[in-house]
């Protein structure tokens, strides 16, 4: 399996995960949502199935939801670690 994976790798039947092209997983437990446009400080982030820990805000989020207009400072990269194994 590749180390860099699309979101659908962990949620192959999730239509939102299938459509996301600007986020990726490192392994199965680290989700990265980079800001791709210069000067942008808000992005929409999709969290696939599972529970994800927001490393910027130190908060847990349930998966299968969008975080709309998520604030990211220019010096930050939005990363989330999986707080529990998918399917448990």
Question: Is residue 77 in some structural domain?
Answer: yes
Give me 25's structure tokens.
Answer: 């997983």
Could you report the per-residue pLDDT of 4-55, keeping only the tens digit for each?
999 999 899 999 999 999 999 999 899 999 999 988 999 999 999 999 999 9
Q: 44 near 67, Cβ under 8 Å? A: yes
Give me the number of domains the chain comprises. Answer: 1
User: Could you give the 3-state DSSP secondary structure of residue 18?
Assistant: helix
Q: Which domain holds residue 57?
A: 4-83
Could you report the per-residue pLDDT of 62-82, keeping only the tens digit for each?
999 999 999 999 889 999 999
Question: Is residue 88 in some structural domain?
Answer: no
Q: 15 near 21, Cβ under 8 Å? A: no
State pTM to two decimals: 0.89
The enclosing domain of 71 has a CATH number of 2.60.40.1180
H helix or E strand, kind and range, residue 44:
strand 42-47
């Amino acid at each position: 399996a590749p180390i860099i994976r699309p979101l659908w790798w962990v949620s192959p039947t999730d239509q939102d995960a299938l459509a996301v092209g600007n986020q990726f997983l490192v392994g199965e437990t680290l989700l990265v949502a980079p800001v791709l446009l210069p000067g942008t400080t808000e992005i929409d982030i999709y969290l696939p199935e599972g529970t994800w820990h927001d490393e910027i805000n130190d908060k847990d989020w349930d998966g299968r939801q969008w975080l709309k207009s998520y604030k990211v400072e220019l010096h930050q990269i939005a990363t989330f670690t999986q707080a529990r194994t998918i399917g448990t």
